[in-house]
Amino acid sequence: MYRGREGQWAFVLHRVTGVAVALFLLLHVIDISLVMFGPEGPFEAFLVFYHNWPFRIGLIMVIAAVVYHGLNGLRIILMDFTTWGVRYQKHMWYGVLGLTTIIGIPVLLKVVPEILRGA
């Protein structure tokens, strides 16, 4: 493993979250489209299935991935289009991680109790 620093990990995370969100979107399009078989059909079965705790954890991760990918995208835009962005790329990356965590807290507060309650 090359011992890169912040920039390398920002790039790796951006790629991983990008692929993850794209795959999730594909799955989402498929399961939503199952509604054409009627409200009681496979669509409903999928919704129930998604309430299992591994998918709840997956939900937290998908939200984190979307938020990280979006915020880091803004960081990249600032690096591309301002003269100062590159100089502050490390600061901005820590900002992205911090904001992703802060935005994730309400998600955790909502979803984690649901998992524990088995709801």
List 27, 80, 94, 114, residue binding other proteins (CB under 8 A): 80
Contact between 76 and other proteins per CB under 8 A: yes
> Within 13 Å, how many C-alpha atoms sit on residue 13's CB side?
24
In the range 84-103, which residues lie near other proteins by CB under 8 A? 85-87, 89
The distance of closest approach from Cβ of residue 12 to other proteins in the complex, given in angstroms and rounded to an integer, is: 8
- Rg over alpha carbons for the chain, rounded to the nearest Å, is 18
What are the residues whose beta carbons fall under 8 Å from the beta carbon of 64, sequence distance 6 or more?
17, 100, 104, 107
Contact set with other proteins (CB under 8 A) = 1-8, 10-12, 14-15, 76, 79-81, 85-87, 89
